[in-house]
Amino acid sequence: MPDGRHADGPTEKCGVVGVSLEDRDAARPIYYALYALQHRGQESAGIVTHDGFQQHSHVEMGLVGDAFDAEDIEGLNGSTGIGHVRYPTAGSVDSSCAQPFSVSFKSGSLGLSHNGNLVNADDVRAELAAKGHAFTSDGDTEVIAHDLARNLLESDLIRAVKRTMGRIHGSYSLAIAHDDTVLGVRDPQGNRPLCLGKLDDGYVIASESAAIDVLDGELVRDVRPGELVVLGDDGSGFESYQLVEPDATAHCFFEHVYFARPDSRIDDNLVYDVRRELGRQLWAESGVDSDVVLPVPDSGRAFASGYAEAAQADGADVEFAEGLMKNRYVGRTFIMPTQDARERAVRLKLNPITDVIEGKKVTVIDDSIVRGTTSTQLVELLREVGAEEVHMRIGAPPIVAPCYMGIDMASRDELIAAGRDVEEICEAIDADSLSYLSIAAIAESLETSRADLCLGCVTGEYPYDIEGETTDRDVARPEIDGAAGVVGDD
């Protein structure tokens, strides 16, 4: 598993980047940015550039470092381009879904990098197929590409994007290359992050600001929900078009809790600060008497330090300690798909330091519990090395439902919290006590209202119209057939 992820955590599926520079090739900066986004996807990596005349593309399975060699980068000419890293869907490693997706059509070339998931892709695909479009993958990114290509035959770039946004429904942060123009688009609910940065000689859009940092760039701001940002093809500036005015947003709160790098800023918040604040809230809501607070490395660290700091400020005699050591060289979990292999992976990955734990009352802090495999194994391990009591505190509410917006959360019947209350989960993982953070504390830490967050996986109510599920707001899928779903061209 990637750094910061453990065996049964939820997994982000993609990271996107787009770069436009004055007069140097964009491929190398995109390559570095993809390295910074590697935690968002490890199955495949790709770059598409444009040199003003033609598109160049290199997309490979594997990690960024394995997917490109110096020659590949040299061959990607042009000062504009986009890149993508992708995580596998459960059990499948499918090169037809690797991105950026690229296509040539009458009015030029298109490249698309997508983070998120459309919930009406099948409808749009069926309608386009009926009009003669042939698809090479079952991915929703190709659906967006075909729809946009079709619209570009009839409209200018801005109107074409607006039309496509009026037909697709779901979660999408997109980096698009239309010939040598790079665009960034964020869905009207702003479900997945996307930000804009300035370099000395150009502009960059990326899933996370850490990708801007590695290019020595400066974060300008987040791309707004419903906004299209067009980077000038000479790297000199950008234009902004607010194509859809959202009533409310549906930011994925899990980006702050788990997916994003702690050194990234999302929606004006440094992820590290948010996680520490969540840790403080966790102490305020469910602090428990113990001798030592241990983070589950790496993603539990900021929570645990916030928790311990708040506990000590309240006069609790508790120590913060790194009592679990992580083996960073254990293979990624997707090549170990069975439950038995996952359990073994936990044992291989986390080794407790006996001296820190033996004879102590221990509080273990983690960011989430999905299947419960890690937590169960951890509690057992801690008891084996002599912990007197093991209390678990989780920096998010219980995950009770799957994610349809591009996160691999496991299915409902695999989720330990689906159909169980906290007491039953505590019993199942054999902890002395277990508490989760409340939704109210999440909203407060993010300085937002709960109505502006996606909470689908912790409430079972989604911010999109998803077949067979309930929604927590007034959303409707666009009518795909005919013009009803097409937003105005004004």
Question: Hey, which residues are catalytic here?
Answer: 14
- Cβ–Cβ < 8 Å for 151, 160: yes
Q: How many CA atoms lie within 13 A of 478 on its CB side?
A: 27
- CA-atom Rg of the chain in angstroms: 23
Three-state SS at 106: coil
d(Cα 175, Cα 469) in Å, to the nearest integer? 29
Q: Give residues 13-72 in contact with ligand SF4 (rule: CB under 6 A).
A: none
- Smallest distance, ligand SF4 to C-beta of residue 404, A: 7
Q: Give residues 239-298 in contact with ligand SF4 (rule: CB under 6 A).
A: 252-254
- Smallest distance, ligand SF4 to C-beta of residue 446, A: 12
Residues with Cβ within 8 Å of residue 338, at least 6 apart in sequence: none
Do strands 14-21 and 80-86 pair parallel, antiparallel, or not at all (unpaired)?
Answer: antiparallel
Return the closest-CA partner of residue 321 out of 288, 354, 294, 359.
294
Q: Exactly one of 57, 109, 191, 269 binds ligand SF4 (CB under 6 A); which one?
A: 191
Q: Which stretch binds ligand SF4 (CB under 6 A): 42-50, 66-74, 175-183, 448-456?
A: 448-456
Phi, psi of 193 (to 5 degrees): -75, 155
Distance of alpha carbon 73 from the chain centroid: 26
403 binds ligand SF4 (CB under 6 A): yes
- Smallest distance, ligand SF4 to C-beta of residue 256, A: 10
Q: Which stretch binds ligand SF4 (CB under 6 A): 239-247, 296-304, 452-460, 467-475?
A: 452-460
Q: Exactly one of 33, 456, 466, 472 binds ligand SF4 (CB under 6 A); which one?
A: 456
Phi, psi of 318 (to 5 degrees): -135, 145
Phi, psi of 275 (to 5 degrees): -65, -35
- Smallest distance, ligand SF4 to C-beta of residue 456, A: 3
- Smallest distance, ligand SF4 to C-beta of residue 445, A: 14
Q: Which two tokens stand for residue 230?
A: 């067009």
Distance of alpha carbon 274 from the chain centroid: 16
| Sign of the C-alpha dihedral computed for residues 471, 41, 302 and 210 taken in this order | negative
Q: Which is nearer to ligand SF4, 26 or 446 (CB)?
A: 446
State the maximum Cα–Cα separation within the chain, in Å, rounded to a whole number.
Answer: 72
Q: Which is nearer to ligand SF4, 356 or 370 (CB)?
A: 370
Q: Exactly one of 30, 119, 350, 405 binds ligand SF4 (CB under 6 A); which one?
A: 405
Total of chain residues touching ligand SF4, rule CB under 6 A? 11
- Cβ–Cβ < 8 Å for 303, 282: yes
Q: Which is nearer to ligand SF4, 381 or 409 (CB)?
A: 409
Q: Which is nearer to ligand SF4, 11 or 102 (CB)?
A: 11
Q: Which stretch binds ligand SF4 (CB under 6 A): 49-57, 180-188, 237-245, 451-459?
A: 451-459
Q: Exactly one of 194, 454, 475, 480 binds ligand SF4 (CB under 6 A); which one?
A: 454
Q: Which is nearer to ligand SF4, 215 or 441 (CB)?
A: 441
d(Cα 202, Cα 200) in Å, to the nearest integer? 6
Q: Give residues 407-436 in contact with ligand SF4 (rule: CB under 6 A).
A: 407
Return the closest-CA partner of residue 210 out of 200, 195, 224, 199.
195
- Smallest distance, ligand SF4 to C-beta of residue 78, A: 34
Q: Which two tokens stand for residue 113?
A: 């990098």
Three-state SS at 135: coil
Q: Which is nearer to ligand SF4, 310 or 403 (CB)?
A: 403
- Smallest distance, ligand SF4 to C-beta of residue 454, A: 3
Q: Which is nearer to ligand SF4, 184 or 456 (CB)?
A: 456
Binding site for ligand SF4 (CB under 6 A): 191, 252-254, 403, 405, 407, 454-457
